[in-house]
Amino acid sequence: MMINIASLAFLFTFVVYSLLVTFILTCIYFDAEQRGIKGWLVVFLTFFSGTIFGTIVWLLLRPKLKTVPVRAS
């Protein structure tokens, strides 16, 4: 049984794409949680609006990061 090069290239591309999407959505999740928004909701909307388009929209429309004052000891 031979594996042809086209199948191998497709599998490699699919794995790399899946890892990149997972990395992007994980970053968006934690960024949304830091900003006080439900991360799973932002990830859901980002994924189903098209990952690249949704990521750009999130980066443009995300709320400001709330600063926490550092207490001097």
| The pLDDT of residue 67 | 77
Helix (H, G, I), strand (E, B) or coil at 55: helix
Per-residue pLDDT tens digits of the chain, which is 73 residues long: 677 888 899 999 999 999 999 999 999 999 999 998 999 999 999 999 988 999 999 999 999 887 778 888 7
Backbone angles phi, psi at 30, to 5 degrees: -70, -35
What span, in angstroms and rounded, lies between the C-alpha atoms of 47 and 67?
Answer: 28
Angle between the N-to-C axes of helices 39-48 and 5-34, in degrees from 0 to 180, rounded to the nearest 10: 140
Predicted TM-score of the model (pTM): 0.79
- Amino acid identity of residue 64, one-letter, is K
What is the predicted pLDDT for the residue at 10? 94
pLDDT of residue 2: 74
CA dist list (Å): 23 to 19, 66, 73: 6, 24, 37
